[in-house]
Structure 1
Amino acid sequence: MSDAHVDLGTVTAPSGTLVLGMAGWIDHWPRAGRPLSERARTAAAVGGGHLHGPENSEPSGWMYEAIAVAAAAGRPLRATARTSASPFDGEPTIAVLEVALGLPWSGPDDSPVRLGDLPVDRCGMVLGDARALDGFTGVDGRSTDGLADVTYWGKYQDTVHARFGGDRIPQNEGEDGPRGWLDLPLAEAEALAERLRTWIREGPGNGLMIAVDAHTDFHRFTRAAWNHPLLAGVIDLDGCRVLGLGWDPGDHSMRHRGERAYGQVYPVTLEARGGEAILRWTIPPYDPDL
């Protein structure tokens, strides 16, 4: 699928403001003083722009960033990607992300307008309605439905499966994935994970990894993307369709590690196509000489 065009699905922006931001930090925006939606609306009103936290934010104002633009409020907005091969494993990765904004092009000519740049967040990216994202529950947030998933993998996984069970959970195309249980009540999930830890600790010892993933919005993205070749998944958030984009850890480490601190940032532009406005994020293919 290298150099292919891939349909990522549609998002909706009933507030009229669309945000592309770092998924691992979306729920940190209240620390910036004003809600993300207010800051995004202000930027969109003047043609769009780059947002980040104040310089004195902890751990850093540049740890959470986003691009905000105006978008049509009453229609689905299609997101597509062009791909290039990862230097890590040769699998397709996003080289260009494009979103049709559903608005007529308003520039004096067809020249692209640069809005800023963004790093690739190791936790992935999120594309959605600014107002809906005010309520996004992130990596360490609370379960939105009181449920959680338990998974395990590693040296003693077959032994644990024989004793405790657990279904195979395919998380990527062509891979077996870990074993575990989905959609358990949170307390039950935590108790089950503790039983596994205790049995391993008192028995064979280290060699098993166990995860309890509460059903945060971030985890719902992850689940929705399990079987997508570009780790893309759409969820419903406050009545809006919101797109999450994951990144393979190996590919991120080779191409994007260090992110903004090491200059690993990529331009976001507004562009004209057929008289309509397009949001484009361009991530150049890997160049081993750079």
Structure 2
Amino acid sequence: MFLGEVTCPSGELVLMDGGYLELWSGDRSPDEVDGTKDLPACDFEIVGPDAEAAARSFGRQSGRMLYDIPHHGTDEFWRLFDQHCREHTYDASLCPFPRRISHRDRVRRAITDGDPDFLITGVPVVPVGGVPTDRPLAVTVVRGEWGWSQVRIGLREDVAVATRRLGSIGVDYARFVFADADALGSWVHNYPVDGLADVVFWGRDEEQVAAEFGAQRTGTPGDDSYGWLNLPVRDAYARAVALNDRKNATPDRKFAFDFRPHSHHWQVMASVRASENEAATIEIGGAQIMMAMTSVGDGFFPVDLDVNAAGAPVAVRITVAGDE
């Protein structure tokens, strides 16, 4: 089943949890991003003659790069690594970076070093290099018993002769994003690009809440909740605060609500909710980016790369459920 197409002008594709794009730093240090700047951390590289062996056996992250080690735990982390090297007689050590490594640079480093994935605040992200830059890439799915069994991103019209496992995508927000690594530098996750926002609510007691607040159904395709659309962001925020106050004051009244600024994330998710297959694309930074619900919720989703006889990537395959 065809979901849509993505493009990858940089030749480097990022596969990750779309909900975590609020943490994406682009070419900036993660310390400069709202979602992570209040979580001080350090990045390290394992160096020395036995760096590769020490990294493999230490097993904390893929490859020699160790990202997002919390400041409060660095002394203990350093002690554990030194102890590990002494026990295995490895000539290796940790070298801290003076400035944290941007997420865009993590993609480059992982692809150059052949690492299967890297972490963003502990969540695995899978990068793929050697992606065609001159044409759209079709995204298709295979339906299983409980949802998709596999997602496939076609890269080349060629015969695959071998497959190798990359990493696994860690998902906590029930959605994938497939995106060009450079284009993500233009992504706006939480802030309205037009100064507007929506507030919607739903649940067991939604009609009572709607009557109290004078709300109507929005009529939004795929998401016909009660609420208000296209409000100035300050007005929308005030209504969200009022709903939250009501929820806290009367916990026996059951409903949930969303404050949805008109960000890129909001735009594509509106299209996802309206889509029969829960997938949609958006053009950001000169590339077509796809957001797609996993169909099975959260989890860790293994990624395989099919290659041709010359070793060039033919397709990326994400295993969603084990019933294909």
User: Common fold, TM-score beyond 0.5?
Assistant: yes
* Partner residue in 1 for 2:129: 69
Aligned residue identity for 1:279: V
Give the Cα separation in 1 of the matches to 2:182 and 2:200: 33
Alignment deviations for residues 153-185 of structure 1 (CA, whole Å, 9 cap, x no partner): 23442244345132344564xxx7421222322
* Partner residue in 2 for 1:52: 118
Partner residue of 2:184 out of 133, 136, 139: 133
Give the Cα separation in 1 of the matches to 2:245 and 2:105: 47
Tell me the SS of whatever aligns to 2:258: strand
Alignment deviations for residues 83-140 of structure 1 (CA, whole Å, 9 cap, x no partner): 1122xxxxxx2211111224867xxx711122223344434111010011133344xx
* Partner residue in 2 for 1:167: 217
Give the Cα separation in 2 of the matches to 1:271 and 1:283: 20
* Partner residue in 2 for 1:186: 233
* Partner residue in 1 for 2:6: 11
Alpha-carbon shift at residue 10 of structure 1 (Å): 0.8
- Asked if the contact 1:235/1:241 (under 8 Å) is kept, the reply is yes
Matched, 1:142 2:191: yes
Alpha-carbon shift at residue 265 of structure 1 (Å): 4.1
Give the Cα separation in 1 of the matches to 2:177 and 2:155: 16
Give the Cα separation in 2 of the matches to 1:67 and 1:200: 41
Matched, 1:281 2:308: no
Aligned residue identity for 1:277: V
Matched, 1:85 2:145: yes
Give the Cα separation in 1 of the matches to 2:316 and 2:5: 14
Tell me the SS of whatever aligns to 2:192: coil
Partner residue of 2:152 out of 92, 98, 101: 98
Alignment deviations for residues 37-66 of structure 1 (CA, whole Å, 9 cap, x no partner): 3332344457x652223xxx75x3xx2422
* Partner residue in 1 for 2:268: 221
TM-score, structure 2 normalization: 0.65
> Which runs of structure 2 are paired with 1:151-166 in the superposition (5 Å)?
151-162=200-211, 164-166=214-216
* Partner residue in 2 for 1:22: 17
Give the Cα separation in 1 of the matches to 2:250 and 2:319: 51
Alpha-carbon shift at residue 36 of structure 1 (Å): 2.9
The 1:28–1:7 alpha-carbon spacing in structure 2 relative to 1, beyond 3 Å, is same
Give the Cα separation in 1 of the matches to 2:171 and 2:250: 41
- The percentage of aligned residue pairs carrying the same residue is 23
Structure 2: unaligned runs, 5 residues or longer: 31-66, 68-99
Alpha-carbon shift at residue 272 of structure 1 (Å): 4.4
Give the Cα separation in 2 of the matches to 1:25 and 1:194: 24
Give the Cα separation in 1 of the matches to 2:24 and 2:207: 42
Tell me the SS of whatever aligns to 1:71: coil
- Asked if the contact 1:8/1:79 (under 8 Å) is kept, the reply is yes
Partner residue of 1:211 out of 228, 236, 258: 258
The 1:169–1:17 alpha-carbon spacing in structure 2 relative to 1, beyond 3 Å, is same
Tell me the SS of whatever aligns to 1:122: coil
Give the Cα separation in 2 of the matches to 1:202 and 1:118: 39
Alpha-carbon shift at residue 234 of structure 1 (Å): 0.8
The 1:80–1:180 alpha-carbon spacing in structure 2 relative to 1, beyond 3 Å, is same
Alpha-carbon shift at residue 152 of structure 1 (Å): 1.5
Give the Cα separation in 2 of the matches to 1:286 and 1:246: 18
The 1:197–1:279 alpha-carbon spacing in structure 2 relative to 1, beyond 3 Å, is closer
Aligned residues: 249
Tell me the SS of whatever aligns to 1:70: coil
Give the Cα separation in 1 of the matches to 2:145 and 2:207: 34
Give the Cα separation in 2 of the matches to 1:228 and 1:271: 31
The 1:129–1:211 alpha-carbon spacing in structure 2 relative to 1, beyond 3 Å, is same
